[in-house]
Structure 1
Amino acid sequence: MISASQCRAARALVEITRGKLSLRSGVDEKVIHDFERQISKPDDRIIETLRSTLEDFGAVFIGENGGGIGVRLKFTAAEARQIARLEGEGGVVANDRVP
C-alpha cells in the first residue's frame, strides 16, 4: 500500500497529471484527487492499481525503513548503461604513490 503523499509525490516525480494517471490506471480522476488530498480513501485494490501504474511510469516506492516512507525514480536500462560507462571514464583505479 502507498500513502496519499507517496501517490502525489510519485506523480510529480514521473511528471504525469491526474488525468493521465486516471487514463492509464482506469481509476476515476476524482478518486485520485480525493485520495491525494486525503478527502477520502479508496479501497486497497484501487490503491494497489495506482501503485502499479505509477511503478510502470518509473516510480519506486520505499517502505518504512527507519528513515520514513518515500518514493524515488528508478533508472532505466539505458541510464544504468550510461552510469556504468561514466564510472569507468577515469581509468583504472589504483593506489596513489604519493609519499
Structure 2
Amino acid sequence: MSIEILSIRQIKAARALLDWSQMDLAEQSGVSYPTIARLETGDGPVGGRKDTASKIRSALETQGIQFLDSGEVAAGPGVALAQSSSND
C-alpha cells in the first residue's frame, strides 16, 4: 500500500535499513545535505516543498524501501526493505 504522508521517522528508519548517512541520502535524492539535516531535526510529517519529500521517497524506494501505512504491519506507519529477487 502506498502512503501519502512521509514522516521523518520513516526516513530515518529507511536510512538505517540501507545503512545510509544523511549525506548518502542527499547524494542519491538530489536534495541538499543541509535540507536533509534540517528536516531530520524535527518529527512528524516531512514539511517543506512537496518535491523534496517526493525526491527523498523516490531515492529510498529505488533501493527497495517500502513505506507502510498504519495497520499494515504495526500500529503506526513504518518501512520495510524489499527482499532481493536474486539469490545472494
TM-score by length of 2: 0.79
Which is helix-richer, 1 or 2?
1
Q: Which residue of structure 1 aligns with residue 55 of structure 2?
A: 49
What is the RMSD computed on CA atoms of the aligned residues? 2.0
Aligned residue-pair number: 80
> How high is the sequence identity, in percent, across the aligned residues?
29
Q: Tell me if the contact between 1:34 and 1:41 (Cα under 8 Å) persists in the aligned partners.
A: no
Gaps of 5+ in 1: 83-99
Gaps of 5+ in 2: none
Question: Post-superposition shift, 1:42?
Answer: 2.2
Higher relative contact order, chain-length normalized (CA < 8 Å, sep 6+)? 2
Q: Which residue of the other structure, out of 27, 30, 36, is the alignment partner of 2:34?
A: 30
AA partner of residue 77 (structure 2): I
Stretch deviating more after TM superposition (62-71 or 8-17): 62-71
Secondary structure, aligned partner of 1:78: coil
